[in-house]
Amino acid sequence: MADISSPAPATAGALSGRLALVTGASRGIGAATAKALAAAGAHVILVARTSGGLEAVEEEIHAAGGHATIAPLDLVDGESIGRLAQAIAGRWNALDILVLNAAMLGTLAAVPAVDAKEFSRVMTLNVLAQQALVAAFDPLLRASPDARVIALTTGVAAAPRAYWGAYGASKAALEVLVSAYGQEVAKISRIRTHIVNPGATRTAMRAKAYPGEDPKTVKEPESVATTLLDLVTADHPDGYRLDLAK
């Protein structure tokens, strides 16, 4: 079970006193975003499968004067998501920022050649687990005076590309789910949903998809994190979309 403890007093900043949860927070865009949110004053719940990576990010946040709590869990386990939500609700009154970053690329293959078992795993993490997160944290998000739900997507969700069908389909489904949720709660809460395509970024997933690419030719995760921080501190309307690939 995740180690949930009460937050220390928030550091000064735009997000002082606010609670954020970032999935896939052990590396890449998730880790960079968690550190950026913490630097702005938020207490950040760090979620990922690997406790070692989470602990390293948590240590960096604490060393910089920020506040974070690790929550190692496998998001494909729906019951774990529910238990995490209950644990957080027992310590905090609201969740202000939910960053849906965790995802699985899967094997790039022609649609007829997509492995059914792997496709099921991709859809489970990229779609079903994301819906489970929104459902589990909906009460805490509604309790926030200004909640944001940010879903990380990909350009191939809107512009299909050969061999990217499985991953693109999962992200297209995620976009629809999050956008529909935003419309459902727009008039009965202060929740706003945003969709962000980070574009080419120096991550492990990018390296897997483009093994021959020089990683120095694409932007670092910290660049995306800075943009996401600006997004949650600005007054954008529900449904606002940001494409960093343009």
What was the pLDDT predicted at 246?
76
Strand order from edge to edge, sheet including 191-197: 67-72, 43-48, 19-23, 97-100, 147-152, 191-197, 240-243
- Tens-digit pLDDT profile for residues 128-166: 999 999 999 999 999 999 999 999 999 999 999 999 999
Going along the chain from its start, the domains and CATH numbers come out as: 19-243 (3.40.50.720)
What does the radius of gyration of the chain's CA atoms come to, in whole angstroms? 17
Token pair listed for 149: 């739900």
Give the pairing type, strands 19-23 and 43-48.
parallel
Instruction: Kindly give the interhelix angle for 28-39 and 51-63, rounded to the nearest 10 degrees.
Output: 30
Told to judge if 163 belongs to the known catalytic residues of this protein, a careful annotator would answer no
Each residue's pLDDT expressed in tens, for the chain with a length of 246 residues: 444 443 333 334 899 999 999 999 999 999 999 999 999 999 999 999 999 999 999 999 999 999 999 999 999 988 999 999 999 999 999 999 999 999 999 999 999 999 999 999 999 999 999 999 999 999 999 999 999 999 999 999 999 999 999 999 999 999 999 999 999 999 999 999 999 999 999 999 999 999 999 999 999 999 999 999 999 999 999 999 999 997
Helix (H, G, I), strand (E, B) or coil at 114: coil
- Among residues 163, 167, 210, 240, the one annotated as catalytic is 167
